[in-house]
Amino acid sequence: MNEPLTAGIAVVGGGVVGLACALRLAKAGHEVVLVEPETPGMGASYGNAGTIADYAVMPVGTPDVLKSLPSLLFDRNSPLAIRRAAILSLAPWLMRFAWQSLPHRAAANAAALATLVSDAAPLWAELAAEIGGSAILQHRGAIYVFETAAALAGAGAAMQARRDLGVTVDLIDSQDLAALEPGLPPAAGGAFFPKALFLSDPGRMVGLLAKAVADAGVPHIRARVDRLRRGPDGVHLSGHGLHLTARRVVIAAGAHSRDLALQAGDRVPLDTERGYHLEWDMPAPLLSRPCCPTSRGFYLCPMEGRLRAAGTVELGGLTAPPSPHRLARLNEGVSAFFPQLGAPSRSWMGFRPSLPDSLPVIGPSAEGPDVIHAYGHGHIGLTLAPVTARLVESVVAGTAPDRDMLPMHPGRF
Ligand SMILES: Cc1cc2nc3c(=O)[nH]c(=O)nc-3n(C[C@H](O)[C@H](O)[C@H](O)COP(=O)(O)OP(=O)(O)OC[C@H]3O[C@@H](n4cnc5c(N)ncnc54)[C@H](O)[C@@H]3O)c2cc1C
């Protein structure tokens, strides 16, 4: 594919965010192409925990996390760890993260997150119906599991803070927990989010989304964008075998978006929180809904034909191979709940695209609306894909967005 191509809108990146944007823009009548070097949907969007986490209104950086940050980061076994080799390159991101964890910043970030996730569930229900994926969208809630009485007692204030931000959550005791999830070993209690949705197979749902994008007439250009440059006739995208000029470009390359954003004129402190999953094939996956033992930082998720344990955070950049140590710790954590499982059927690592304030970057480039940012969704990119698509569509149409986009502005740092 060496001949120069032209397009109305080029969406760069075919993860759940780019695909949702491409579908929405194509359905609105725009001429859209998708530029993605791999099979769409095989990045972070493939291996996540599948929760439509409209209850995840707390940023990763909070005053409590800040207090324990040094011990968390430098303990190789903690749910939030750092690769030693990456410490220097991550220092600027960590300093911003520490600032965003101060009480006033964390409160502002939580309020912005609450606004963003508020209608994620109905928008997902709409999207799933549109692409033939309603059977994958489960309406059985999600649970934070507290293993000790102290953790349960300490959760009251945190859950009230979520209620204050519009989240429906019930604190439940060990009996209620056992009634909801008889497959779990006894625990002190939990926080039940009864309205939460989850996907019983995120990979399959994103596959349906990719098919809907193709069916909407969006060509898939199988290439990586290395260079982005503005010209008089539009935005030029180039890479190996790629010469494309588009009137507009949506950058949706997940954790890989920082260099493209910089070439568009926006310096964004995007980095990655690496996350892992392990899966065990089984016909009945032991649980009815995603359960997160919060102190361990991963979810136990019932998926189609398998149990998936997904989560933990490892600050470690985009190039290093997966850490066998992190996978072993994840396996140990799961064994505390299900010692009968044996060796996992498969493992996976993915790159959460993360900003220090836990908010995505959505909106026009500071240099002009011919480049639109749509990445950086961290722990809730699956949740926010349809919300992001709606906001991107309003930027393209030049209409007023349905919520305040200032907290997501690329120039906010
Ligand atoms: C372990 C784990 C558990 C998670 N659990 C949840 C959860 O329960 N709920 C939730 O909401 N979120 C969850 N997340 C987060 C969520 O998965 C991500 O935020 C989301 O998938 C990001 O989507 P994306 O489309 O931005 O990125 P990706 O899915 O990574 O897609 C980016 C795409 O861009 C392409 N690309 C990269 N560079 C270029 C380039 N130069 N040119 C062209 N294309 C390019 C890549 O090939 C890739 O396909 C989890 C993440 C992890 C790792």
Range of the domain at 187: 52-101+129-198+271-354
Residue 66 Cα to ligand 1 middle (Å) = 26
Question: Mean pLDDT over residues 403-408, rounded?
Answer: 96
Quick: pLDDT tens for 5-64.
889 999 999 999 999 999 999 999 999 999 999 999 999 999 999 999 999 999 999 999
Residue 206 Cα to ligand 1 middle (Å) = 11
Domain boundary among 354, 373, 397: 354
Quick: pLDDT tens for 75-119.
888 888 888 888 899 999 999 999 999 999 999 999 999 999 999
- Whose CA is closest to 133, among 246, 17, 63, 211? 211
Helix (H, G, I), strand (E, B) or coil at 116: helix
Residue 375 Cα to ligand 1 middle (Å) = 9
Q: Is the pLDDT of residue 262 over 70?
A: yes
Mutate to test the pocket of ligand 1, among 377, 388, 408 (most ligand atoms within 8 A of CB): 377
Q: Is residue 297 part of a domain?
A: yes
Question: What percent of the chain is predicted at pLDDT more than 90?
Answer: 93
Region of poorest pLDDT, from 132-136, 316-320, 330-334, 406-410: 316-320
pLDDT of residue 2: 60
The rounded radius of gyration (Å) of the Cα atoms in the chain is 21
135 with 218, same domain: the answer is no
Going by alpha carbons, the residue nearest to atom 20 of ligand 1 is: 381
339 with 366, same domain: the answer is no
Report how many domains make up the chain.
2
For residue 310, give the CATH number of its domain.
3.30.9.10
Q: How far apart (Å, rounded) are the C-alpha atoms in residues 177 and 175?
A: 5
Q: Is the CB of 308 under 6 A from ligand 1?
A: no
Mutate to test the pocket of ligand 1, among 136, 240, 379, 392 (most ligand atoms within 8 A of CB): 379
Q: Is residue 265 part of a domain?
A: yes
58 with 193, same domain: the answer is yes
70 with 30, same domain: the answer is no
Domain boundary among 354, 388, 404: 354
pLDDT of residue 4: 76
Q: Is the pLDDT of residue 1 over 50?
A: no
Q: Is residue 323 part of a domain?
A: yes
Return the amino acid letter for 19. Answer: L
For residue 220, give the CATH number of its domain.
3.50.50.60
CA 283 to chain centre: 27
Question: Mean pLDDT over residues 293-316, rounded?
Answer: 96
- Whose CA is closest to 148, among 386, 355, 315, 336? 336
95 with 141, same domain: the answer is yes
Q: Is residue 21 part of a domain?
A: yes
Going by alpha carbons, the residue nearest to atom 10 of ligand 1 is: 380
The answer to whether 300 and 291 are in contact (CB under 8 A) is yes
Q: Is the CB of 190 under 6 A from ligand 1?
A: no
Position in ligand 1 atom list of the atom nearest CA 257: 38
Q: Is residue 209 part of a domain?
A: yes
Domain boundary among 328, 354, 380: 354
Residue 148 Cα to ligand 1 middle (Å) = 33
Burial class (CB in 10 A: 0-12, 13-18, 19+), 3: exposed
Kindly report the pTM of this predicted structure: 0.97
73 with 167, same domain: the answer is yes
240 with 261, same domain: the answer is yes
Q: How far apart (Å, rounded) are the C-alpha atoms in residues 193 and 155?
A: 14
Q: Is residue 114 part of a domain?
A: no
**Confidence band of 370 (pLDDT split at 50, 70, 90):** very high
Q: Is the pLDDT of residue 241 over 50?
A: yes
371 with 386, same domain: the answer is yes
Question: What percent of the chain is predicted at pLDDT more than 70?
Answer: 99
338 with 285, same domain: the answer is yes
78 with 160, same domain: the answer is yes
What stretches of 252-289 adopt beta strand conformation (E)?
A: 271-281
Q: How far is CA 265 from CA 9, 82, 252, 308, 371, in A?
A: 19, 29, 16, 40, 10
346 with 249, same domain: the answer is no
Q: Is residue 188 part of a domain?
A: yes
Query: For residue 235, what are the β-bridge partners?
Result: 230, 246
Average pLDDT over the chain reads 96
245 with 221, same domain: the answer is yes
Q: Is the CB of 303 under 6 A from ligand 1?
A: no
